[in-house]
Amino acid sequence: MAVLYLSSDSRRGEIFAESFARALPDLPFHIGSAPDPAAVEFLVAWTAPADLGQAYPNLRVIFSVGAGVDQLDLATVPPQVLVVRMLEPGIPQQMREFVALATLALHRDLPLYISRQRQALWQPGESRPAAERRVGVMGLGQLGQAVLDALAPFGFQLGGWSRSLRSLPGVESFTELPAFLSRTDILICLLPLTPETRGILDAGLFAGLPPGAGLVHVGRGGHLDQQALLAALDSGRLSAAWLDVTDPEPLPREHPLWAHPRVVITPHVATRVGAAEGAAHVIAGIRAYRAGRSIPGLVDRARGY
């Protein structure tokens, strides 16, 4: 029985190795390759080789080093192998901070003022109270609920959309997308990327928002139709967008989104998993597996998250 860590970040691998040596000294931990691939039962990785079943015939669990697993081709993962996403206590707090920053920036027209600064233009825009701004979150899991909690003190009218109806204090919950979109002035995408949600941020969705709505996208790049976004911004259907994720990452240097005056792009930094905290999560998962308990972060393969 052994653990294999596959990642290009060697320093993080060293921190994982140190944590495993302290917590599970009986479990060999290898970085990059294992002397005996047949001994590998636990894989810690961002992506996995296409011949996973042949490469590691006794693999039991894959632990993603990220909060999502859409980067893994689950079709190539043998059905008996469990897939676990990263659950790190700091992730919700980081997402709360980042989405509050982005939402307030769109609420107070920061992209407009950055554009006017570049023109040396001293020209105030219109100001709107938070109580008159309707903010909607797509995806009401752990991160979506954390974001809504962070935004509540500002007084926004809060709404959320998910596959099943949720009861959250101070939040209007929707399962019907058109009704949710029609009342949303700033849309926050926190959905997992699945076949059902790929490309969901498209021209049809933007047409369902009130004119001049804003977009904060912190889900996955594959959710967004970038040409539809550009068209919505240029037509005035959307007023601004903050993108922390793109497809591909990074965008090509010549991509028009880089220079668009009403777009803010950040390099997928809304959350960053700490190495020591990530190692602790994997160690807890291995201990749970060995004890026959449920593994925190276990992915429903049918849903993809």
N residues, the chain: 305
Give the amino acid at 45: A
Rounded CA-CA distance 225/202 in Å is 5
Q: Taking a C-beta distance cutoff of 8 angstroms, is the pair 222, 193 a contact?
A: yes
Q: Has 260 been annotated as catalytic? A: no
Rounded CA-CA distance 36/290 in Å is 21
The residue annotated as part of the active site, out of 60, 198, 255, 268, is 268
Q: Estimate to the nearest angstrom the gap between the alpha carbon of 194 and the chain centroid.
A: 12
Rounded CA-CA distance 227/71 in Å is 23
Q: Taking a C-beta distance cutoff of 8 angstroms, is the pair 183, 131 a contact?
A: no
180 phi and psi angles, rounded to 5 deg = -65, -45
Q: Residue 18 burial (CB < 10 Å; 0-12/13-18/19+)?
A: middle
Q: Has 268 been annotated as catalytic? A: yes
Across the beta sheet with 213-217, what order do the strands follow? 171-174, 157-161, 134-138, 186-189, 213-217, 238-243, 263-265
The residue annotated as part of the active site, out of 12, 30, 217, 220, is 220
Contact partners, residue 274, CB within 8 Å, separation at least 6: 88, 90
Q: What tokens appear for 191 in the block?
A: 């959905």
Cα 295 to Cα 6, 105, 137, 141, 153, distances in angstroms? 21, 38, 28, 18, 34
Rounded CA-CA distance 140/60 in Å is 30
Which residues belong to the active site? 220, 268
